[in-house]
Amino acid sequence: MSCIVDLLKLPSLEQSYIVSGYNGAFNSVKRIDILETPYPEVERFLEPYEFMFTSFWNSKDDKASRVNLVKAMIERKCSGIGIMPGPNLNDDIDPEIIELGNAYSFPIIYIPSSVRWSDILSEFSLLNSSAVHSELDANLVDILFAFSDLHIEKNVKKFCDQLNRFLSLPLIINASNTYYCGLENNTASTIISKIYSIKMQNPQKLNVPISLRIDNQNLAVVYYGKNSILATYIVNQNITNSNLSIFHKIAPIIIKELDDLCGVKTIKKPNNTINLPEDSSYYLVLIRKENIGSIVDYINEKYLMYEENEFYNYIIFLMPKNEKDENKIYDEYYKVIEKVNPILFIFSRPCSSQKELFDQIKILKYTISSLLFLDGIFSIDELPVLYTLLYSPYEYKETIFKVNSTDLNLETEPSFFDTLRLYLVLRNINNVSNLLGIHSNSVKYRISKCLKAYENDTVNALGDLPYIKLLILLEILKVEKTFV
């Protein structure tokens, strides 16, 4: 990318010089423009890293507008301004503008009257094109070396790190495991969830890249392979970014390499033919974990496997009812959690007969592809609420949370909120205690710490709780982690 110093090297600007804002001499310049629209109308067109040239012909009698324009450019993070004061300002640049340049390291360049704007535009175009091509050439060489390393070392994580560095783009790669670079965990989880949701709805290979709107300002560009996924995350305005162009060129090659490297990822057919006695009932469990195949043998030995999905890294299985003590199921859940250490554990509360069981599975499979960003322990009963909240407008969730969260102690440990959420679902201290493997008094303590009115009162914390309101707030926290 060009900078202010590069502009001064243009042949047409050989007589130009910086009059103030010297410390900004290396400010990046993405584009240049000639000021035609007067202030304040021009303010809405200003962009970061833009350098403006002007003779101030449209404000030659309005000093305040000239000064305010420079202030607006500084606020909008423009690169600098080139002023030709000869024709309209008696060859003098306003001292207030010079002061602003020095105060904010905002370069003010003097432009002689002999300069032609058209010469500057054509010369900058050549300069920018040359800089882009040399940068792209260097990146392509580095990318070729990264491919070579991938062939030799079979290290997908290292490959992801290298591409992230060379392209300066945040990346998500799903092969045998999921890797991402340059993204916060919550952002990556949201993107991955949306990517998986589309893949689930379109199980056949998607042959074209897809753009997913993540929020009002950002989108993800996704390439799907047979057994792999490649995605990047960009600001909407950067859709023409030169590095994004490289990404589009190499993405099909990367997908092919990843498909060949990681082999076929299977979705083993659901065990719809399982014969469950009509008089027996089962609990339903979903576990999500990286390298899900590592726990399949353990599950098969103890329980009844329904489905293994290696692409999304989850399994669904059934656990028989304990006829002697129904509440023992929570001890059993805890044993499984301790053994396999899952990212996500979803369990059913009531036992279900065969018909009820398959109805529950339909709900589970319909919602899970959109909720794969979740981590922790959840009841199947929570999924419809979480799914609805996920697709509700952000402003709506934000308003609900601000209005109703006054009872919550938002400084509390997140795990304490999870304990309260599970209590609101199960309505039984001992069941929560057994599920989490902690003492019942610890459950009460955690709940009291979540509520401002009972922070030091574990005895009365379980009084007249506003169950529905609290549960919705806690589910919002799982969907929008930025609220705390």
pLDDT (tens digit per residue) in 17-38 = 999 998 888 888 888 999 888 8
C-alpha angle 423/425/429, rounded to 5°? 30
Cβ contacts of 324 within 8 Å, gap of 6 or more: none
Task: Classify the phi-psi angles of 34: left when phi > 0, otherwise alpha if psi is within -120 to 50, otherwise beta.
Answer: beta
What pLDDT does residue 171 have? 86
Are the beta carbons of 178 and 192 closer than 8 angstroms?
A: yes
What pLDDT does residue 165 have? 81
What pLDDT does residue 136 have? 52
What pLDDT does residue 315 have? 92
What pLDDT does residue 74 have? 94
Token pair belonging to 45 = 């067109």
The domains located in the chain, with CATH, are: 2-115 (3.40.1390.20), 136-262 (3.30.450.40), 282-387 (no CATH), 392-483 (no CATH)
Long-range contacts of 366-372 (CB under 8 A, 24+ apart): 368/286, 368/312, 368/314, 369/193, 369/196, 369/197, 369/199, 369/200, 369/201, 369/312, 370/193, 370/194, 370/196, 370/197, 371/193, 372/189, 372/192, 372/193, 372/196, 372/288, 372/312, 372/314, 372/344
Closest CA to 81 of 39, 18, 124: 18
What pLDDT does residue 417 have? 92
Higher pLDDT, 160 or 271: 160
Cα separation values, 304 from 270, 326, 378, 463, Å: 11, 18, 20, 40
Helix axes 117-153, 156-167, angle to 10 degrees: 170
Residue 2 has pLDDT above 90, yes or no: no
What is the DSSP code (8-state) at residue 270?
P
Please give the helix or strand (H or E) that residue 90 lies within, else none. Answer: none
Give residue 9's pLDDT band: very low, low, confident or very high (50, 70, 90): confident
Q: What is the DSSP string of 165-197?
A: HHHT--EEEESSSEEEESS-HHHHHHHHHHHHH
Q: 69-112 pLDDT, tens per residue?
A: 999 999 999 999 999 999 999 999 999 999 999 999 999 999 99
Are the beta carbons of 28 and 1 closer than 8 angstroms?
A: yes
How does the average pLDDT of the chain come out, rounded?
Answer: 83
Task: Calculate mean pLDDT across residues 458-481.
Answer: 74
What SS3 class is residue 424?
helix
Task: Calculate mean pLDDT across residues 293-308.
Answer: 90
CA-CA distance, 435 to 443, in Å (whole number)?
Answer: 11
Are the beta carbons of 477 and 484 closer than 8 angstroms?
A: yes
Phi, psi of 8 (to 5 degrees): -70, -15
**pLDDT > 70: what percent of the chain?**
84
Residue 321 has pLDDT above 90, yes or no: no
Task: Calculate mean pLDDT across residues 465-484.
Answer: 78
Q: Which of 115-119, 153-157, 262-266, 283-287 has the lowest mean pLDDT?
A: 262-266
Cβ atoms within 10 A of the Cβ of 148, count? 10
What pLDDT does residue 191 have? 79
Helices (H), 19-171: 63-75, 95-103, 117-153, 156-167
HSE (side-chain half, CA atoms, 13 Å) at 46: 23
CA-CA distance, 401 to 389, in Å (whole number)?
Answer: 12
Task: Calculate mean pLDDT across residues 353-363.
Answer: 82
Residue 327 has pLDDT above 80, yes or no: no
Give residue 354's pLDDT band: very low, low, confident or very high (50, 70, 90): confident
What pLDDT does residue 138 have? 52
If you compute the radius of gyration of the chain from its CA atoms, what whole number of angstroms results?
Answer: 30
CA-CA distance, 62 to 67, in Å (whole number)?
Answer: 9
What pLDDT does residue 64 have? 93
Pairing mode of beta strands 210-213, 218-224? antiparallel
What pLDDT does residue 310 have? 77
What pLDDT does residue 439 have? 95
Closest CA to 77 of 23, 6, 29: 29
Task: Calculate mean pLDDT across residues 462-478.
Answer: 78
Residue 204 has pLDDT above 80, yes or no: no
What pLDDT does residue 153 have? 82
Q: Which of 61-65, 78-82, 175-179, 466-470 has the lowest mean pLDDT?
A: 175-179
Tokens 């324009």 identify what position?
69
Closest CA to 475 of 400, 380, 386, 390: 386
Residue 453 has pLDDT above 80, yes or no: no
Higher pLDDT, 70 or 191: 70
Task: Calculate mean pLDDT across residues 144-151.
Answer: 80
CA-CA distance, 255 to 103, in Å (whole number)?
Answer: 50
Residues 103-139 as b/e (b if ≥16 CB within 10 A, e otherwise) read: ebbbbbbbbeeebebeebeebbeebbeeeeeeeeeeb
Higher pLDDT, 120 or 142: 120
Residue 200 has pLDDT above 70, yes or no: no
What pLDDT does residue 130 have? 57
What pLDDT does residue 456 have? 60
Cβ atoms within 10 A of the Cβ of 334, count? 18
What pLDDT does residue 53 have? 94
Closest CA to 16 of 97, 107, 96, 95: 107
CA-CA distance, 223 to 256, in Å (whole number)?
Answer: 11
Give residue 477's pLDDT band: very low, low, confident or very high (50, 70, 90): confident
Note if the bond before 85 is cis, omega within 30 degrees.
no
